[in-house]
Amino acid sequence: MSRPTDPAEPTRWRRAAYGLGDLGFNLYWSTVSFYILYFYTDVLGLSGKVAGLIFLVAMLWDAVTDPVIGILAQRTRSRWGSYRPYILFGAVPLALSLVLVFLDPGLEGAALVVFALASHMVFRTAYTVVNIPYSALSARITRSTEIRNELAAWRIALATIGTSFVAYSTLKLVGHFGDGDEPFGFVVTMSLFAGISLPVFLILFASVREGEMPAIGTSRPDFWGAFSSLGRNKPFLVILGATIFATLGGVLVSKLLVYYFKYTLGDETAVGLVFAANSIVILFSAPLWAYVTSKTSKRFVWRAGALVSITASLLLYANQRETIPVVVAIAALSSVGSAAAYLTFWSAIPDTVEYGEMRCRRRDESLTFGVMSFVQKSSYGVAAALAGVFIDLIGYQANAQQGQATLDALKFGMTLLPAGLVFVAFLIIGGYRLDSPTYERVLRILEARKTSSSTKKDTAEAVP
C-alpha cells in the first residue's frame, strides 16, 4: 500500500469536489466534441474539409498555450496556491468563449471561415487557462496512488453526468429554444451550459486545497531542461503514445456518429441517447475498473478495456439490424472499455510526475499535464480534420439523401478504422511498467533525497 506523504490526505468531500470540476469542464469539452463539426457543416454551411481544418488549426494552437500555461501555473505563487487562481479568474472568460464559438455571425465566404477559426482559438485558449491548472492539481493534492485512483474515479463519475446532460439534451434544447431558428437555439443552449458551469467551478475553487508548493528559482524557466526531462520519462512517453492512438480512434467515432444517426437511422437527435448511455455506463464501469486496478495493474486494465472497445466496434460493423436500440446497446458496450482507458489515464499521469522527479531530479507536474493535454488536443484536432476530409471523400452532401456507398463508407469510418487505432494503443500500453511496487520504490527514493537534503548529505539510489 502506498502511503500519502506531503500533502496530507484530502477528505472524501474534497476528493469528490475535485472530481466535480470535470462535470463543469465536460459542459464545454463534450459540447464541442460532439457538436462543433455538425454546427460548422449543417448550421454555418462550411464544407467538411474547411470545418475539419478549422478544428485542427485551433487544436494545434494549444501547442503554444498548453505548455506555456503549464509552466506559468506551476511558477505562480499566491495565497490560494499555484493552480486555484486560474480556476477562479478564468471561469467567466471560458463561459463567454463557449457562446462565441457557437455563434452564427451572419457572414459568408472567407469572413465566415476567419470568424469561426478566431472564435475557436479564443475558446481553446480560455479552456487551457482553466483546465491545465485543474489537471495538474491532482499531482499536488496527494502522492498516494490509491487516492489518485479515487480522484480519477470521481473525475470520471462526475464527468459522465456533465457528458450525459450535454449528449442527451443539446440538440433537444437547440430545437426547443430555437423553435426553427437553429443558430439562435445554439446560442441560448450554450449560454445555459456556461451558466451552469460557473457555480461548479466556484465550489471546486473553494473546496480543494493544494499541498506544499515546491520552491522555485529566481531564474527564467528552463524550458529546454523541462522538455528534456519529459523525454527521459519512459512511463510518460508510453502513456503519451497510447493516448495519441486511443484519442484518434475515439474522436473518429464521436464525430461520425451524428451523421450515421441522421442519414442511416433517420434521427440525428437520437444520437444523444448513445452519448448519454455511454456516459451512464462509464459512470458505473469506472468504480469496477478501479477495483480491478487495485487487484491487478493499470496496464492490465487499459489493455482489457481496449479489447472490449475493439470487440464492440467489430460488432457494430457486422450488425445488420440498424435500429436505434441495437446501436445504442452496442455503443454502450464500447463505453465499458472506454471507462478503463479514462481511469487508467488520469490515475497514471500523476504517477509519472514522481517518476520524472526521481529520474531527472526536477519536478515538472504542470508541464507534464500541459504536454499531455496538448497531445490529446492535437490528436483530437487531427482526428476531427480527418473526419471532415473523410466525409467529403465519401461523397457526403449536407442535408441531402446519401447514396448507399456513402453510407457504407461512413459505417467503416466509425467502426473498423477506430478499432485499428485502438489496437495500436493496446500494443503501446504494453510497455508501461510503473506498477504499484515500482511506484512505492520511487516514493522511497524521493523521501530519502528529501531527508538527505535537509541534513546536507548525498544519498545514492538505484534508478528503477
Q: What confidence tens digit (pLDDT) does each residue in 307-359 have?
A: 999 999 999 999 988 999 999 999 999 999 999 998 898 889 889 988 998 99
Cell of 455: 541534513
pLDDT in tens, 353-400: 889 989 988 887 777 877 887 788 788 878 888 888 898 899 888 778
Please, what sign has the CA dihedral across residues 327, 328, 333, 338? Answer: positive
Predicted pLDDT of residue 222: 60
Cell of 120: 475557436
**Cα separation of 29 and 190, whole Å?**
12
Predicted pLDDT of residue 347: 85
Contact 305, 337 (CB under 8 A): yes
Q: Which residues of the chain have pLDDT under 70?
A: 1-8, 211-223, 225, 453-464
My answer on whether omega of the bond before 7 falls inside 30° of 0, hence cis, is: yes
Residues near 106 by beta carbon (within 8 Å), at least 6 away in sequence? none
The CA-atom distances, in angstroms, between 250 and each of 337, 384, 387, 419 are: 11, 10, 12, 9
CATH number of this structure's domain 12-209+222-452: 1.20.1250.20
Cell of 360: 531527472
**Cα separation of 201 and 189, whole Å?**
19
pTM: 0.72
What single-letter amino acid sits at 321?
R
**Cα separation of 309 and 307, whole Å?**
5
- Of 86, 317, 283, 312, the closest CA to residue 204 belongs to 86
The CA-atom distances, in angstroms, between 302 and each of 130, 238, 296 are: 27, 12, 11
- Of 272, 269, 256, the closest CA to residue 328 belongs to 272
Full 3-state SS string of the chain: CCCCCCCCCCCHHHHHHHHHHHHHHHHHHHHHHHHHHHHHHHHCCCCHHHHHHHHHHHHHCHHHHHHHHHHHHHHCCCCCCCCHHHHHHHHHHHHHHHHHHCCCCCCCHHHHHHHHHHHHHHHHHHHHHHHHHHHHHHHHHCCCHHHHHHHHHHHHHHHHHHHHHHHHHHHHHHHHHHCCCHHHHHHHHHHHHHHHHHHHHHHHHHHCCCCCCCCCCCCCCCHHHHHHHHHCCHHHHHHHHHHHHHHHHHHHHHHHHHHHHHHCCCCHHHHHHHHHHHHHHHHHHHHHHHHHHHHCCHHHHHHHHHHHHHHHHHHHHHCCCCCHHHHHHHHHHHHHHHHHHHHHHHHHHHHHHHHHHHHHCCCCHHHHHHHHHHHHHHHHHHHHHHHHHHHHHCCCCCCCCCCHHHHHHHHHHCCHHHHHHHHHHHHHHCCCCCCHHHHHHHHHHHHHHHHHHHCCCCCCCCCC
Predicted pLDDT of residue 374: 78
Q: 219 phi and psi, to 5 degrees?
A: -80, 170
Please, what sign has the CA dihedral across residues 170, 347, 351, 254? Answer: negative
Tracing cell 505548455 back to the chain, one arrives at 67
- Of 411, 421, 412, 376, the closest CA to residue 249 belongs to 421
Predicted pLDDT of residue 289: 92
Cell of 220: 527564467
**Cα separation of 398 and 39, whole Å?**
11
**Cα separation of 370 and 223, whole Å?**
13
Report the interhelical angle of 223-231 vs 234-263 (nearest 10°).
80
Cell of 27: 459542459
What single-letter amino acid sits at 363?
R
Predicted pLDDT of residue 96: 97
